[in-house]
Amino acid sequence: PYGVTVDGQSYDGRYTLIIAVNGYCYGGGFIPVPESDVQDGILDVLMVHAVSRVTAAKVIGAYKNGYYRDYPQYITHLRARELTVYSLGGKQMDVNMDGEIVRTGHVGMRIAEKQMRVIVPVGVRPEVRAPRSRRQ
C-alpha cells in the first residue's frame, strides 16, 4: 500500500506501478502518456491499481503504447504540479529515476519551471502527441 498525494489530494491505495512523466517517451520505446508535453509545466501521473500478474500481462502492451484510456478500471491518469509517494507499510520502495534504481521509503517530485535552457534549430519544437484510444 502507498500513500500518494497529488497537488494536495490523497490517493492512498494499492498500486502495481506509479509513474510521473513530463515527456511522452522513456526507456525501450515506452510511450505511456503520448500527450505529455515537456513544455507545459505539468507532470502526467499514471497510477496502475494493484492487479494480478495475468492482468498486468494483459494491459502492459496498451500501457507501453499509450492506450491507458482503454483501461480506466486499472489505470488512473492525473495531471499535477507536485506528487508525493511513500510506503504506508514502512517498507522500502524501488524507485526508477531515469534508469537508476533507488531504494527509499518516500519520494517527492515537482516541475521546476523554466530552469533549463535548451538550444534548438529555428523552427524545431518538441512533438506533442494526441491521446490514444483503440475504442473510438
Q: Which residue did the predictor score with more confidence, 121 or 66?
A: 66
- What average pLDDT score do residues 20-37 get? 88
Listing DSSP states for the chain in one string gives -EEEEETTEE--B-EEEEEEESSS-BTTTB-S-TT--TTSS-EEEEEEE---HHHHHHHHHHHHTT-GGG-TTTEEEEEESEEEEEETTS--EEEEETTEEEEESEEEEE--TT-------TT-----PPP--S--
Give residue 120's pLDDT: 75
Give 78-118 pLDDT, tens digit per residue.
999 999 999 998 899 999 988 899 999 999 999 887 777 77
Mean pLDDT of the chain: 88
Percentage of the chain lying above the pLDDT 90 cut? 62
pLDDT at residue 74 is higher than 90: yes
User: How much is the pLDDT for 99?
Assistant: 84
